[in-house]
Amino acid sequence: MIKRLQEFLKGVEFEMKKVSWPTLEELRGSTTVVLVLSLILVIFLFIVDFGLSRIVSIIL
């Protein structure tokens, strides 16, 4: 069991060396894009929900 764990961790270390990590600038840019798009989605869903609520309340 210990031997399998050691082999697994060696494999993880080997694969992690292949990973290309983003620079701090790329990370900030990606985070900004995600936050802005999330905000746009929240606003859109709020408008749709509010509109549908008004339509249902008018019908009922």
Give pLDDT tens digits along the chain (60 positions).
899 999 999 999 999 999 999 999 999 999 999 999 999 999 999 999 999 999 999 998
What distance lies between CA 36 and its chain's CA centroid? 12
At 60 the pLDDT is 87
Please tell me the predicted confidence (pLDDT) of residue 26: 97
pTM (whole model) above 0.75: no
Q: What is the chain's Cα-based Rg? A: 24
